[in-house]
Amino acid sequence: MAKNIPQLRQWLVKRGQSTITVEAGASPAPAAVTVPSAATNRILGRWLVGCSGLVVGAVVLGGVTRLTESGLSMVDWHLVREMKPPQTQAEWEAEFSKYQQFPEFKIMNHDMTLSEFKFIFFMEWGHRMWGRLVGLAYVLPTIYFWRKGYFNRSMKGKVLGLCGFVFFQGLLGWYMVKSGLEEKPESYDIPRVSQYRLSAHLGSALLLYCASLWTGLTLLRPAHKVQCFLRFAKGTGGLVFLTALSGAFVAGLDAGLVYNSFPKMGERWVPDDLLAFSPALKNFFENPTTVQFDHRILAISSLTAITGLYLFSRRMVLPRRARMAINLLTTMAYAQVALGISTLLLYVPTPLAATHQSGSVALLSLAIWVLAELRKMPK
């Protein structure tokens, strides 16, 4: 019996080791669940910056759609069904027949041919499909990253907000288009969408873009502390955003086609019809002269603020990336003003106008980059 004791002890040790191994293999492995880290933050940052790039594409394509007067060619809105454009001659004729029932055809395009209709249809169809691509780029990765555990509590709220904003943007786009499809028997003006809804649609797109780019940059770039003029930079960024938003009113009212001179408006610095509407507040949103005047003032103010930011930065010790961002912002600001003046003097040619609209997003992007580099300064 005494001889068997060592063997029994050895068997128990082996049995215990085997039991531990089995239990370790059978137990759920919480370590396998991914948690937010520097690596996952880089992935999320690149994803959100990429999404912001797609939003820029939607803004640019929307601007070109408006400049080519294509936005009212699709008179219905269906989330899935309209993803397939007309294929046969009969389908195209049926779509064209629906378009002919609305004011834009009756007042402006009553002599339009089917081939001309196809062009404006595909412009609007492309814009809507791009919008759906933007939605998928936000929603599908959000589901994947959520399941992988890449989001902390704060990021979960942010991405849900961004995805919700994408859906809101799509609904707002259709709400805008509907305003241009309404019959207005008492009016003989050219059918166009409401400048209020157009501005809201552009403004929400810019907010989505800013939020995505800012969140992405903060994930990609660790915060650093620097003594700087962050408050001034924030004010300048807000002014750039407001200037871009005022451009939507210019586009909505075709205000770029009045007073095609610079720096004066006609023969005056302040035109006579600046406050022609009553009440006075109405001029700032519905009077093309006032809307163009406001856009000029805001653009000049933005250029002045950015120039001041640049001159101020020359007297400060800043990180290399922050200085580079400010230099690019200043260069883009002067280029954007030159584009705006050229667009005005040449009576708004479509290629130049589209470049100017794209420049506003580029300028806003650089302003956000500046803020990202200067964030979290010490109290």
Amino acid, single-letter form, for residue 363: L
Helix extents (H) in 88-113: 89-99, 103
Is 82:76 a contact under the CB 8 Å cutoff?
yes
Residue 107 lies in a domain: yes
Residue 57 lies in a domain: yes
- Measured CA to CA, the distance from residue 34 to residue 43 in angstroms comes to 13
pLDDT tens digits, one per residue of 223-234: 554 444 777 888
- Whether residues 128 and 275 share a domain: the answer is no
Classify residue 11 as exposed, middle or buried by CB count within 10 Å of its CB (0-12, 13-18, 19+).
Answer: exposed
Query: Which range marks the domain in which residue 236 is found?
Result: 223-378
- Whether residues 195 and 120 share a domain: the answer is yes
- Whether residues 205 and 242 share a domain: the answer is no
pTM: 0.74
3-state helix, strand, coil in the chain (%, to 5): 75, 0, 25
DSSP letters along 43-76, please? HHHHHHHHHHHHHHHHHHHHHHHHHTT-TTS---
- Any idea which residue has 């060592």 for tokens? 6
pLDDT tens digits, one per residue of 91-115: 999 999 999 999 889 888 888 999 9
What is the average per-residue pLDDT within 70-75? 90
Amino acid, single-letter form, for residue 325: A
Classify residue 13 as exposed, middle or buried by CB count within 10 Å of its CB (0-12, 13-18, 19+).
Answer: exposed
pLDDT at 18: 43
Angle, CA of 56, 61 and 66, to the nearest 5°: 130
- Measured CA to CA, the distance from residue 374 to residue 260 in angstroms comes to 39
pLDDT tens digits, one per residue of 134-150: 999 999 999 999 999 99
User: How much of the chain, in percent, has pLDDT values that exceed 90?
Assistant: 51
- Whether residues 102 and 242 share a domain: the answer is no
- Whether residues 147 and 265 share a domain: the answer is no
Number of domains the chain contains: 2
Residue 22 lies in a domain: no
